[in-house]
Amino acid sequence: MGRKLLTEHINVEGIETFDVYRKHGGYRSVEKALKTMTPDEVVEEVKKSGLRGRGGAGFPTGMKWSFLAKPEGVPRYLVCNADESEPGTFKDRQLMSKLPHLLIEGMITGSYALGARTSYIYIRGELLYVLRILEKAIAEAYAAGFLGENILGSGYSLDLHVHPGAGAYICGEETALLESLEGKRGNPRNKPPFPAVQGLYARPTVVNNVETIAAVVPIVNEGGDEYAKLGVGKSTGTKLISACGHLNKPGIYEIELGVPVEEFIYSDEYCGGIWKGRDLKAVVAGGSSVPILPKELILKTAAGENRLMTYESLSDGGFITGTMLGSGGFIAMDETTCIVKNTWNFSRFYHHESCGQCSPCREGTGWLEKVLHRLEHGHGSMHDIDLIVSVAKQIEGNTICPLGEAAAWPVAAAVRHFRHEFEWHVTNPKEATAPGAAYRGAPVLA
């Protein structure tokens, strides 16, 4: 059993209140940072920790922080990305509802490190009930002197606000999120300039995921070096994995990075195996955008090594035989799952969520959805299979934001590993579209 740095106290009665959270060591990182460290020293600890962005991209957080422009006399912002909406991902909702003060503590310590005097938590609009939990906790933090003017007599002041979205996956993209926070449509911005130079209100801004900001708390408390001792190689620390799909025990697990995938799926400590005594068919390991892998390749790499829950091990083999850790949205599919239907479902999602700014994405996601729909319903041709691969290729790399890639990758990987199943829908449409039909042939592993 690994260490839990974020969720150790999540089951404590009343932990969502300031008093109980404080009693369990809460807000120590704020005291330590504001009283004994300079802002740059906090950034240095985060750099040493090796923490990587937990929203999905895995970019080193300390490096992102050090890119922040600091022109004299210009306000800068820390914005928390709580627009959790990558299918398969549901960790931040749990963290914010049960441990609102952990996020607030991370926001204060992080804002101090970056020199922000006003910070925002942008939460998806569906989670208004979580917004209310956060606002209540923020009010408690103000009352206790951890927010507002001259925090703990340090001379540092911070205001923190929560801002709701209103239903748009694209607002999880950081520049779309900033547009939305400015009261506009969530259209991603062209980069450069990057938010570190021109972000919210054209001011220097850092945007970090909820879990990333929460991780700053143990990093400051224990030191970056201590944090980096957990995990494997460049995958340091712990990660929240939200497991869903056909598992006996779907849910949120804080794991020390490096747990073998096989152990994560089958051990009773984690997901407890596949439901209904069935066999595992495929896994989408890091949210719907990452390549799907058949059972054989998610448990072991192409070289036959045990696959681990780390950034490096999951991406071993690149997009030919590997995938990504992504957001930690772990979707397991049993042997009865129709891969064609699942791929069509995800394509419909990306088509629905495309902001429509870039033609390759606006048109391409529509093509993917339509052609996959006819393949799934037994009206497709062999040419259609090559067509979706070709459309996916034409979206990839040709859009302002990564939604294009997010739409293209799952299609490309599904056809790569499950081409026979797509072909079966063309050659045996009646059989393939019968209720409960599932292709049981072997996947392509190379």
Partner 1 sequence: MEPTTAPTKPQFSPAAQAEIKRLLTHYPEDRSKSALLPILHIAQAEFGGWVSPEVQDLVAETLKIKPIEVYEVATFYTQYNLKPVGKHVLEICRTGPCMLRGSDELTEHLERITGAKVGGTSPDGTFTLKEVECLAACGFAPIVQVREKYYEQLDTPEAVDAMLNELKSLVHRPILPWEETGLPNSLKNY
Residues that bind partner 1 (CB under 8 A): 10-11, 84-90, 92-94, 97-98, 120, 124-129, 132, 135, 161, 163-169, 180-186, 201, 242-246, 250-252, 284, 288, 329, 331, 333, 337, 341-342, 345-346, 349, 352-353, 355
Cα 221 to its chain centre, rounded Å, is: 24
User: CB-wise, 34 or 116, nearer to partner 1?
Assistant: 116
* Nearest distance in Å: CB 161, partner 1: 4
Taking the complex as a whole, the smallest distance from the CB of residue 366 to partner 1 amounts, in Å, to 15
Nearest approach, Cβ of residue 252 and partner 1 (Å): 7
In terms of CB distance, is 32 or 373 closer to partner 1? 373
* Minimum separation from the CB atom of position 314 to partner 1 (A): 19
Cβ neighbour number for residue 192 with a 10 Å cutoff: 9
Which residue's CB is nearer to partner 1, number 12 or number 152? 12
Cβ closest to partner 1, residue 33 vs residue 280: 280
CB of 58 vs partner 1, minimal distance in Å: 20
- What tokens were used for 362? 């606006």
Minimum CB distance to partner 1, residue 128 (Å) = 5
Comparing CB distances to partner 1, the nearer of 10 and 197 is: 10
Cβ proximity to partner 1, 102 vs 244, nearer residue: 244
**Residue count (the chain):** 446
For partner 1, the closer of residues 27 and 77 by Cβ is 77
Question: Which residue, 43 or 271, is less far from partner 1 as judged by CB?
Answer: 271
Shortest Å, Cβ 132 to partner 1? 6
Q: How far is the CB of 226 from partner 1 (least distance, A)?
A: 26
- Report how far apart, in Å, the C-alpha atoms of 76 and of each of 171, 205, 211 are: 20, 6, 21
Query: Distances from the Cα of 195 to the Cαs of 84, 176, 352, in angstroms?
Result: 20, 11, 26
The dihedrals phi and psi of 226, each to the nearest 5 degrees, come to: -65, -45
| Pick from 372, 322, 370: nearest CA to 342 | 372
